Amino acid sequence: MNKLDVPPGRIFRDGWTVSHGGVVDVPEPATGAVLTTVGVADPADIRAAAATARAAQREWAAAPATERAQVCYRAAGLLETHNAQVKEWLIREGGATASKAEYEIGAVLAELRVAASLPTRPHGHLLPAEPGQRSLARRVPLGVVGVISPWNVPMLLGLRAVAPALALGNAVVWKPDLRTPVSGGYLPARIFEEAGLPTGVLQVLAGGQDTGAALVADPDIAMIAFTGSSRVGRLIGEVAGRGLKRVSLELGGNSPLLVLDDADVDAASSAGAFGAFFHQGQICMAASRHIVLADVADEYVDRLVKRAQTLRVGDPWTDRVDLGPMIDDRQADRVESIIRDSVALGASVATGGGRRGRFHEPTVLTGVTPAMPAFTEEIFGPVAPVTVARTEQEAVALANQTEYGLAAAIQTGSVARGLALAEQLDAALIHINDQTVNDTAFAPFGGRKASGNGSSHGAEQNSEAFTQWQWLTMRDTSKPFPV
- The 10s digit of each residue's pLDDT in 279-299 is 999 999 999 999 999 999 999
pTM of the entire predicted model: 0.96
CATH 1.10.260.40 fits 255-432, yes or no: no
User: What is the C-alpha separation between 416 and 432, in angstroms, rounded?
Assistant: 10
pLDDT, position 2: 72
- The 10s digit of each residue's pLDDT in 220-256 is 999 999 999 999 999 999 999 999 999 999 999 999 9
406 contacts 429 by C-beta, under 8 angstroms: yes
Where residue 131 falls among pLDDT bands split at 50, 70, 90? very high
User: What is the C-alpha separation between 139 and 122, in angstroms, rounded?
Assistant: 9
User: Which helix (H) or strand (E) covers residue 27, if one does?
Assistant: strand 23-27
- Catalytic pick from 72, 111, 193, 284? 284
Across the beta sheet with 144-148, the strand order is 16-17, 11-12, 202-204, 171-175, 144-148, 223-227, 246-250
What residue ranges do the domains of the chain occupy? 11-251+452-472, 255-432
Where residue 324 falls among pLDDT bands split at 50, 70, 90? very high
CATH of region 11-251+452-472: 3.40.605.10
Average pLDDT estimate for 409-416: 98
- Catalytic pick from 250, 361, 377, 378? 250
Average pLDDT estimate for 428-436: 98
User: What is the C-alpha separation between 157 and 160, in angstroms, rounded?
Assistant: 6
| Catalytic residue list contains 284 | yes
pLDDT, position 459: 86
159 contacts 180 by C-beta, under 8 angstroms: no
| Catalytic residue list contains 72 | no
Per the rule left: phi > 0, alpha: psi between -120 and 50, beta: everything else, 456 is: alpha
- CA distances 304 to 107, 277, 309, 401, 430, Å, are 28, 11, 9, 23, 21
Which of 147-163 are b and which e, b meaning 16 or more Cβ less than 10 Å from the residue's Cβ? Answer: bbbbbbbbbbbbbbbbb
pLDDT higher than threshold 80 for residue 455: no
* Alpha carbon 401 to chain centroid, angstroms: 24
- The 10s digit of each residue's pLDDT in 150-175 is 999 999 999 999 999 999 999 999 99
- Dihedral over Cα of 387, 390, 396, 397: its sign: negative
